[in-house]
Chains A and B, each alone.
Chain A
Amino acid sequence: VSIQELRAEHEANGIGPLMMTELRTLCSQVARKYPPAIFSDGPTWDATALDDLLQDLVVGRLLHEGQLAYVMLHSNDLDEFRRLMIFQVKRTLSGRRRRSVVDNLLERSRQVLRDGPYEATGGRYRLQGSTEPHRDATESEVREAALVARAVPRVPVRSLADREPVVYRASDLALVLRGIANALPCSFTERDLDHIFRLILTDLLPADLEALETTHEPGQPAADPSLEPIIAEIVTTLMAEMDSQQKTILRMKASDVSDADIAGSLGISRPTLANRKHVVFDRLHAALDGLDPTVQDRAMERLLGVIISGGDES
């Protein structure tokens, strides 16, 4: 087959037998490099599993998202066509995994929303006693909520072999949902949560599968239980010492938000933010300096958790 034949077929029929044959071959070549237990519904890459992948690729990625047009626009020869399509297959596989991780988080969230301090009305959730209106959140509001949730520590996804990335421990998932409920100026739906979780996962489950394969983040060692009183005292002291704006600065820096964005969000200049940020960091430094790194990490996690779950931010 040549790129000219594929192009002629594309212009006549969108996708025809020639392209389907190419796509089927590429799906088979790519999929076999990845474990079916993670990227497929079945235990092996058999004909049915490959057909499912082909259908996901063609319907979801190439037609619904218009990526077929992108590939055909870019492909000057058959090699380029195949290279771009292989990347689309990988994106499809990655999207499947992200989908399954998000579905898992949503399933666990339903339980938290049922058992936690939330009221549900017509598929919309808000904290009990909240007067936030029942309306759809804007994209901007969803992103802000995702930034709040992002400050909650996540369990790293270390590699492709990490079959069931839990992302959040149970207590942290409850904190995430509380943070989202606090951050949104309206009630929220599972669709909003879906959007927020997908945003949060962008740096955990990227579209580029190779990037994931080489990502290694060390896990956190367990803290000594005897240090718990020290951690609790540090958190209590810092919460009392910091004003609401300082807590907001700390929470946003924990989410990797840029200084410019934080300054814009607080309505202050960048130099002013820089000064206030240094005050926050100096305060943290004074409270944590000299302690074991594990204790420092735990204290920071706990402090952020208190702030996110309803600490008096500005």
Chain B
Amino acid sequence: VSTNAPIPEWLDDALKAYAPSPLVVDPSDSLTTLMPGGICYAVPMDPGASAARLVLVISVHPSHHYAEVALLSPVVENAADLDLRLDPEDMSLPFALLAQGDVIGTLWGWQLSEPIGHVRADVGMALRLISQGECPMEFAGRRGMPFSGRSDPRWRGKEEEAEALQALAADCVRTLLEPVWIDPAVLDVELGPPLVVQEAVLSAFETSTSGAGKLPGAAIDSLELDDDETRRRAEASIGADAWLLIQEMALAAVAADTLAGVHTGHTIEIPTRRALAARDPLGRALGAEAGASTVRLETWDYLWADDAPDMLSIDGPDGTIRVLRERVAA
């Protein structure tokens, strides 16, 4: 293939008429300034697990570390009636986009890049209203035609768009639906230089009090697993067993990368005291995994020693577990 293809005259003229300008990203923007109206890249929790996409931030929930976003599409000619066309002048971007009012989801703040563009706050508000079946008059003309049923050729594309956002949002949505599973406190971690991340990860271990937290692969990669100070702090805060488990998981992730020949990064679950206790057979038998504080033991009389007390207390992962003996008549 020749790499010396001549530049035709029309290209020179076109480049003069439509000089492509590089996208300008304000370096002062950061995750901490995530705001409604921001246009960001959304990346999966595990890099490479699904495709990165542009999204419009509709609302931000700093206390829970997530943002509500609408998926953006460049295929403006396929607009449907719940899509809102964003023109270049609306966003300070050189291309138009469709904000999809029916493809909305929640993502962790971690998953969102620095904004590459912004729209006015009322655009995000309009999209929110459109998704609820209402549309401000001034935005009505930016919508497309309704679907004409499932035979509409755009339908399949819309389903694929929904699946794309679901793949990106799965982790966050699952967590929000099952709040016990992940401790939002660990999400206070802000990604930055390795040493900062190291500190943040350890802080996350220390602040995690319930469930199992998750950290993205980028944070795990920065951990100095064989560092004495890290080990000392980790063992002091979460215990030697928990630290050992984290090391095992992080090393397994590195090994997986090595085998695959590429570096993808991995999410990792932070074992908390409760999770560790649940690994213990006695703890599991006593319902520690479910966070039980009282366990009733229903037994046949003849299986229970005559001198066994009717109640006893055992130290569990979240405090004392009361074990109540209940006799079942033979």
Contact = CB atoms under 8 A, between A and B. Distances in A.
A interacts with B: yes
Interface of A: 1, 10-11, 13-18, 20-21, 24-25, 51, 55, 58-59, 63-70, 73-74, 91, 94-95, 98, 138-144, 146-147, 150, 198-200, 202-203, 206-208, 211-212, 214-215, 217, 255-261, 264, 270
Contacts of A70: 74, 94-95
A214 to B, nearest CB: 8
Interface of B: 1-8, 10-11, 14-15, 17-23, 52, 74-75, 77-81, 88, 93-96, 116, 132-135, 137-138, 140-149, 151-154, 156-157
B23 A59 contact: no
23 contacts: A14-B19, A20-B5, A51-B8, A59-B11, A66-B96, A67-B95, A69-B94, A69-B95, A73-B23, A73-B116, A138-B141, A146-B145, A200-B145, A202-B80, A203-B152, A206-B78, A206-B153, A206-B157, A208-B154, A217-B151, A255-B145, A258-B146, A261-B135
B26 to A, nearest CB: 16
Interface of A is mostly: helix
Contacts of A214: 153
Given A208-B157, A258-B81, A150 B145 contact: yes
B152 A58 contact: no
A256 B149 contact: yes
Nearest to A23: B5
Nearest to A209: B153
A135 to B, nearest CB: 15
Sorted nearest first, the 4 A-B pairs with minimum C-beta distance are A139-B141, A260-B133, A66-B94, A66-B95
A199 B145 contact: yes
A66 B78 contact: no
A66 B74 CA distance: 10
Contacts of B137: 140
Given A1-B3, A70-B95, A142-B141, A264 B149 contact: no
Contacts of A15: 11, 15, 20
A215 B157 CA distance: 13
Contacts of B141: 138-143
A215 B151 contact: yes
Contacts of B78: 202, 206-208
Nearest to A13: B15
B220 to A, nearest CB: 21
A66 B88 contact: yes
A256 B157 contact: no
B145 A147 contact: yes
A266 B23 CA distance: 44
Contacts of B157: 206, 208, 211
Contacts of B93: 66, 69
A206 B96 contact: no
A99 B148 CA distance: 21
Nearest to B13: A59
A17 B154 CA distance: 36
B7 A16 contact: yes
A11 B20 CA distance: 9
Nearest to B1: A21
A21 B11 contact: no
Contacts of A1: 1, 3
Contacts of B20: 10, 14-15, 63, 66, 68-69
Contacts of A258: 81, 133, 146
Contact of A65 (B11, B95, B143): B95
Contacts of B96: 65-66
A65 B6 CA distance: 24
Contacts of A141: 141
Given A66-B94, A208-B157, A264-B135, 7 more contacts: A51-B8, A69-B20, A69-B95, A73-B23, A142-B141, A206-B77, A261-B135
B118 to A, nearest CB: 16
Nearest to B19: A14
Nearest to A14: B20
Contacts of B151: 215, 217
Nearest to A144: B140
A51 to B, nearest CB: 8
A61 B2 CA distance: 24
A89 to B, nearest CB: 14
A97 to B, nearest CB: 12
A261 B133 contact: yes
